[in-house]
Amino acid sequence: MAKISFVCQACGAVHAKWSGRCDACGGWNTIVEEAAAIPAGASAKPRARGRPFALEDLKTEEGAPTRRASGIGEFDRVCGGGLVPGSALLIGGDPGVGKSTLILQALAAFARGGGSAVYISGEEAMAQVRLRAARMGLSEAPVQLGAATCVEDILATLESAPAPGVLAIDSIQTIWTSALDAAPGTIAQVRTASFDLVRYAKASGAALLLVGHVTKDGQIAGPRAVEHLVDAVLYFEGERGHHFRVLRAVKNRFGPTDEIGVFEMTGGGLAEVGNPSALFLGDRTARAPGAAVFAGLEGTRPLLMEIQALVAPAGYGSPRRAVVGWDSGRLAMILAVLDARAGLGISAHDVYLNVAGGLKIAEPAADLAAAAALISSFSGETLPPDCVFFGELSLSGDVRPAPQTELRLKEAAKLGFKRAYVPAGVKTGTGLELHPVESVAALATLAGGQGGRRKTSGKKSLPEHPGEAW
């Protein structure tokens, strides 16, 4: 006896009948008919009596979980120091960003270090995987390779040999189980296959790496239940026009969240970037208004990045807003604060904001750097190249403190910066000249933006000495 249900492939909501639009998530043409096999008369069968189990207190004598280093420092950093035996990681990213390349390199490095690694490909043939390994110089790595999509076949193969140290499935959307009549990639198939693989990893002690597709919104495709099943969720990000990639942790039961690892895409695969601040800043010899360096923090790693702004006269009735790498709603709030608290009148102009290098910033401490870049472009004044900014702006125009100020300033001093414009109350002995900024009005006065846009015939630079305006 089979029960027919209609399941949304975007959010997993179950409907009694088919509809063109999902009432839960609002997606169109996402509802698919699925048949879940259930035993006849299951609804009338009484439940078996459960067995009691012992309850214990919170005291423990167990230490930190042992970890297996993959051999790639940036990957281990995001995982929290290495792979935990029996853990499950879900890695998502846009098509072509390099997920399979990263997994193959991690398995090859782990296998070369003496561990056993198994790579199961559900999307590519074994010949294609071998060609990629040859291009990256990994052909001699003792990685066991297989191509299969049926989860029963995969588990039977794994259980017939000693459990590997690391197991990679590329990708989970292609794996299906014969216990369900639904098509591969549907909600039920992905959920069931993921549960079977995670259960095997927990029982055998193998570290499981699952590769997942993402939707057009950047979220991992499939039900949210998959993200709840795994121990860590990692996103591999990168723009096609840039040569670097960022591995970001958004969930990690064995390490910090919001940690990042930076890689550079080369002809031989992904190369680790030891100093990402220098990579993202690049060559800053050009002196032009509208560029400010933000001393940010990604997880436990301080990171310097350049925020670029361009304020131009509006060519049409409605001013244009274009943002790359930052929240557009946050930009609208900063513009409103600059107009209301500093009297600049920027909102009537076209505003373009870009984070150099293709990074994406979600930290509120970038408000002060973005405001400085906007004021610099609006006034035509160039910011000194040896200063950094960080601080959060409130709606009242005040500059609020940011966490981990010492880490930010140490990173700026290491890269040769001399001055830092910070919230009031920051005191640390890092060797930088600290210039507290109490409000956005004070920032506008320092940048020469008070009273509206300046009429300048050419580029002008702000004073280089701390005793002057900057």
Integer Cα distance of 453 and 314 in angstroms: 14
Which amino acid is it at 97?
Answer: V
Q: What is the residue-averaged pLDDT of the chain?
A: 85
Considering the domain boundaries, does residue 170 fall inside one? yes
Q: Average of pLDDT values for 145-167? A: 95
Residues 191, 303, single domain; the answer is: no
Domain of 230 in residue numbering reads as 73-274
User: Pseudo-torsion of CA 314, 309, 363, 274, nearest 10°?
Assistant: 150
Residues 177, 291, single domain; the answer is: no
* DSSP character at residue 119: E
pLDDT tens digits, 348-364: 999 999 998 778 898 99
The answer to whether residue 159 scores a pLDDT higher than 70 is yes
The more confident residue out of 308 and 182 is 308
Give the strands of the sheet with 2-8, arranged side by side. 14-15, 2-8, 31-37
Write down the pTM of the prediction. Answer: 0.76
pLDDT tens digits, 398-415: 999 999 899 999 999 988
Q: Helices marked H in 148-186 — which ranges?
A: 151-159
Q: Report pLDDT for 11.
A: 76
Q: Give SS3 for 123.
A: coil
Instruction: State the burial class of residue 285 (Cβ atoms within 10 Å of its Cβ: 0-12, 13-18, 19+).
Output: exposed
Omega within 30 of 0 (cis) for the link into 171: yes
Integer Cα distance of 133 and 141 in angstroms: 9
Considering the domain boundaries, does residue 325 fall inside one? yes
pLDDT tens digits, 171-208: 898 999 988 887 887 888 888 999 999 999 999 999 99
Residues 85, 27, single domain; the answer is: no
Q: Average of pLDDT values for 263-280? A: 86
Considering the domain boundaries, does residue 64 fall inside one? no
**Structural tokens at position 237:** 């990000």
Q: Report pLDDT for 217.
A: 63
- Domain end, chosen from 274, 301, 333, is at 274
Say what angle helices 367-379 and 328-342 make with each other, to 10 degrees.
Answer: 60
* DSSP character at residue 50: P
Residues 260, 356, single domain; the answer is: no
Integer Cα distance of 85 and 64 in angstroms: 12
pLDDT tens digits, 81-117: 999 999 999 999 888 889 999 999 999 999 999 999 9
C-alpha distances in angstroms, 88 versus 194, 218, 270?
Answer: 10, 21, 23
Task: For residue 328, give the CATH number of its domain.
Answer: 3.30.230.10
Q: Quick check: 290 and 453 in contact, CB under 8 A?
A: no
The more confident residue out of 398 and 10 is 398
Give the total number of structural domains in the chain: 3
Considering the domain boundaries, does residue 468 fall inside one? no
- Domain end, chosen from 257, 274, 291, is at 274
Considering the domain boundaries, does residue 470 fall inside one? no
| Cβ contacts of 44 within 8 Å, gap of 6 or more | none
Q: Quick check: 261 and 82 in contact, CB under 8 A?
A: no
Residues 324, 450, single domain; the answer is: yes
- Bridge partners, 147 (sequence order): 121
Residues 422, 297, single domain; the answer is: yes
Least confident range of 197-206, 354-363, 384-393, 416-425:
354-363
pLDDT tens digits, 32-45: 887 654 544 445 45
